[in-house]
Structure 1
């Protein structure tokens, strides 16, 4: 069923592998990121539950959605959550035979909407919009897996700040890949309108408040903004004084946007350091694609180039999107987790990659190469602090890296720090 014009995705190999192991593979992620086409590329038949002629039938009898040659794709399964239970029961009735179903979903329904997690029967994959490698904007010559194996080839890069501003505003939407910039800028704006006008209403939320919340999150993107900060940004002084109702309201809207895969959190690393009082650090929030934050703020590439701080924050969002994609693309069960590091003295690293076997790496993300020296110093301090606790026996990091925007080439500093332009990075 591979659609005509399908662009291979990094997730393809994982879908194929998991279909050989589990009865079903569930692919979740934001609308328009390519889930349906990737599912079709591995399926022999399909039921689309966003078809209003099909949905009422599937709600009345979920087994109707299961009809078709296997692997059978069920698109937008979350619109009729009981279909997922029917999938699980059918897998059980066929002795958990691998490769029966593919489910794709662009919203996370409440867990009470279906009976069982599907553990052991349904494998889960998370999908994002396209990375720079998939868009053809990164050569991928420096890979995350290679970095963990001490392999960082020197290679030339040619990306400019103008390129970065365009990548941020275009985003990784498959529909924008070969479009003009002017056409591509419509896509994230239309995406936000769909979430605000359709999805929010369906979930019982006020569209105006949804839009304001998205704009506030865009203004506080790439930060661990507290609820108090968001309340002050969203409400007048008089309204903000009544903090508890406001806190409950804002929290419910953030949860809704997380369920829609519009925003996602990055947790703080629980580093094995020796400290009398561990500082509890709230997660940072990022948009699932930087173009959504840019669209919420009404930014174009031209305007973004005159907003240095915002461009830096959105480049960080771009880099973290790609790091999530590359980390998730490792074929096998032992994928690196992503977090950030911050201590009570303000020492931080933008990204910590940690493997289940204890190997780890720290990454600083900087828009320009002029920030590399301070990033190197920060990474060396993080390494020193994390490995200083003799009781933790924390091994040295597999690598320390500064991920830059408009660097000319990849190289290794005298201190052993990798410096890599994002346009050279891959899985």
Structure 2
């Protein structure tokens, strides 16, 4: 019998956790702090050890964190990275004892001494599940009538889903934090600000880095959402003019690495189709924050300001859609290692998101804030399809579907064969 917390809201990763428990001796649920990892782990477990609450004991005797009725949760295991190896050895000693442990972590192990890191990857023994803040479907804000799995299967039915600008702005400001689901935008933004402050004033100095520089880095990333910003651009934004010297590439890389390790930053790489030369396709990553509410908080904006600055909201809305697309793509049974990418080539053609499955099937998405821009997005999708498939000898298979994700809208509908307009508030996995 599980120890499911009262009031638990089902998550799309639940099914994947259950599947991995049937396959692996242990499952790691990793992702952004406060996104609900512990509650999801408890949903699938019979006992738990909290490393944060027993840090001294866990440090002296990591094996003590594995004691309990299985499946057993070890929460925030990365605080004592050697726990990973103890779990691996325990799994090895009892073959076919699948689903024995669930590890949760809100960062990759970040320690200065190499000897403290796990000595083995856990490949074949520990399955990894990525968890993110709640998608609109999980929070109950999407009707979920159009599914990603259905689109890949050639299934689509029109549906009416009316969404106005004020609701969209509210959803972006509130974000996908489970604790914020029933809050106003202003109150939810306090959670986002608290998150960023805790990260800057606790995690950052713990890793020997400067909180003020990290604040400027986050500001640069927030104002360049969805851009393949160069290190030079970030350095210009985040540098201290009074210091005299620009930030080095090594410094920028180090701070970005910390943000990735804390699952605060998502880097979406470029997609290189088989028949295209990498020299003609931009593969530098586009960067998004883990949740749109963090970008809003970092830019010190509230709903009224976003409604008055629709161009900035367009960037925030794209961040929201990319969060949801990654949640939905990662929920697919045939999820690939990097399921969401983007396309941009030397001819200036850009498509916001390419979702590719492990069997090579793919679909493309353009993201637009309103129904009025559907034709603009569809034109880019048509151009991509022509460019990649018009040559009979090309090795690129045709897309299974293409779609324009919309914000302010009323209907999910078919634009033409193979191209759809889908409100973000209609989409699910």
TM-score of the pair, normalised by structure 2: 0.95
Deviation string 1:208-232 (CA, Å, 9 cap, x unpaired) is 1111111111111110000001111
Task: Give 1:183 shift.
Answer: 2.0
Q: Distance in 2 between matches of 1:95 and 1:274?
A: 45
* Secondary structure at 1:135 match in 2: coil
Task: Give 1:235 shift.
Answer: 2.0
Q: Distance in 2 between matches of 1:347 and 1:332?
A: 28
Does the 8 Å contact 1:273/1:389 carry over to 2? no
Aligned positions of 1:238-277 closer than 5 A:
242-243=245-246, 246-274=248-276, 277=279
Q: Which residue of 1 aligns with 2:233?
A: 229
Does the 8 Å contact 1:77/1:84 carry over to 2? yes
Does the 8 Å contact 2:275/2:395 carry over to 1? no
Task: Give 1:156 shift.
Answer: 0.5
Aligned positions of 1:378-417 closer than 5 A:
378-414=380-416, 416-417=418-419
- For the pair 1:126 / 2:135, whether they are aligned, the reply is no
Does the 8 Å contact 2:142/2:425 carry over to 1? yes
Q: Which residue of 1 aligns with 2:421?
A: 419
Task: Give 1:278 shift.
Answer: 2.8
Q: Which residue of 2 aligns with 1:56?
A: 56
Q: Which residue of 2 aligns with 1:106?
A: 106
Go from structure 1 to structure 2 and tell me whether the alpha carbon gap of 1:381 and 1:99 turns closer, same or farther (over 3 Å shift): same
- For the pair 1:185 / 2:197, whether they are aligned, the reply is no
* Secondary structure at 1:344 match in 2: coil
Does the 8 Å contact 2:143/2:425 carry over to 1? yes
Does the 8 Å contact 2:110/2:207 carry over to 1? no
Unaligned runs of 5+ in 2: none
* Secondary structure at 1:185 match in 2: helix
Does the 8 Å contact 2:52/2:76 carry over to 1? yes
Q: Distance in 1 between matches of 2:241 and 2:393?
A: 49
Go from structure 1 to structure 2 and tell me whether the alpha carbon gap of 1:333 and 1:230 turns closer, same or farther (over 3 Å shift): closer
Aligned positions of 1:10-89 closer than 5 A:
10-51=12-53, 54-89=54-89
* Secondary structure at 2:385 match in 1: helix
Q: Which residue of 1 aligns with 2:287?
A: 285
Aligned residues: 423
Task: Give 1:415 shift.
Answer: 5.3
Task: Give 1:289 shift.
Answer: 0.5
Of residues 209, 215, 222 in structure 2, which corresponds to 1:211?
A: 215
TM-score of the pair, normalised by structure 1: 0.95
Task: Give 1:181 shift.
Answer: 3.0
Q: Distance in 1 between matches of 2:87 and 2:164?
A: 48
Go from structure 1 to structure 2 and tell me whether the alpha carbon gap of 1:248 and 1:24 turns closer, same or farther (over 3 Å shift): same
Q: Distance in 1 between matches of 2:217 and 2:276?
A: 38
Q: Distance in 2 between matches of 1:274 and 1:189?
A: 42
Go from structure 1 to structure 2 and tell me whether the alpha carbon gap of 1:136 and 1:335 turns closer, same or farther (over 3 Å shift): farther
Q: Which residue of 2 aligns with 1:325?
A: 327
Q: Distance in 2 between matches of 1:415 and 1:309?
A: 31
Unaligned runs of 5+ in 1: none
Task: Give 1:307 shift.
Answer: 1.1
Task: Give 1:272 shift.
Answer: 2.7
Q: Distance in 2 between matches of 1:276 and 1:294?
A: 34
Deviation string 1:86-129 (CA, Å, 9 cap, x unpaired) is 00001111124101100000011159511000011100000001
Deviation string 1:61-84 (CA, Å, 9 cap, x unpaired) is 110110100000000000000011
Task: Give 1:284 shift.
Answer: 0.2
* Secondary structure at 2:404 match in 1: strand
Q: Which stretch shows the higher mean deviation, 407-416 or 139-148?
A: 407-416
Task: Give 1:387 shift.
Answer: 1.2
Deviation string 1:171-222 (CA, Å, 9 cap, x unpaired) is 0000001223332221111100110011111111111111111111111111
Deviation string 1:48-67 (CA, Å, 9 cap, x unpaired) is 0111xx11111111101101
Higher percent of residues as strand: 2
Q: Distance in 1 between matches of 2:349 and 2:187?
A: 42
Q: Distance in 2 between matches of 1:69 and 1:416?
A: 50
Q: Distance in 2 between matches of 1:146 and 1:59?
A: 47
- For the pair 1:161 / 2:165, whether they are aligned, the reply is yes
- For the pair 1:146 / 2:150, whether they are aligned, the reply is yes
Go from structure 1 to structure 2 and tell me whether the alpha carbon gap of 1:322 and 1:274 turns closer, same or farther (over 3 Å shift): closer
* Secondary structure at 2:403 match in 1: strand
Q: Distance in 2 between matches of 1:7 and 1:180?
A: 19
